[in-house]
Amino acid sequence: MAFVLKKTTSFKWPVTVEIPSDGDYVKEIFEVVFKKVPRSTFNELVEQGDYAVLSGLLEGWSGMKDEAGKEVAFNDESIIALCDDPCAVRGIMNAYVEAIYTGSRKN
């Protein structure tokens, strides 16, 4: 198949959030819709901080629940709240870098 150079595309990708717990990590997973951005844009977003990265890369998510078990809506308020969780931010960044820069997964 020929490579088609596109300016923007979106794709779904799983995000694993590792939460420290008693000397180990609890892994929680949800799915996001990432926007594929040019490398220069990605670098600019990183320089601007977590909110810029998340609002610039995310187009949606599913499988994220609040403490009461209710689905968390994808909106600006939720992105701001997510920025306050360093484990979630790390998980999202790792997932994006894995998807864009790592290549094929091995089973």
- φ/ψ of 73, rounded to 5, equals -70, 145
pLDDT of residue 101: 83
Separation of alpha carbons 78 and 3, rounded Å = 36
Spell out the residues 6+ positions from residue 44 whose beta carbon is closer than 8 angstroms to its own. 52
Token look-up 């939720």 returns 78
Q: Using the predicted structure, report yes or no on whether residue 36 has a pLDDT greater than 70.
A: yes
Q: Return the half-sphere exposure (C-beta side, CA atoms, 13 A cut-off) of residue 35.
A: 15
Q: Give the burial class of 91: count Cβ atoms within 10 A of its Cβ; 0-12 exposed, 13-18 middle, 19 or more buried.
A: buried
* Distance between CA atoms of residues 80 and 49, nearest Å: 12
In tens, the pLDDT along 69-82 reads 999 999 999 999 99
Question: From CA 81, how far away is CA 84, in angstroms rounded?
Answer: 5
Provide the whole-model pTM.
0.85
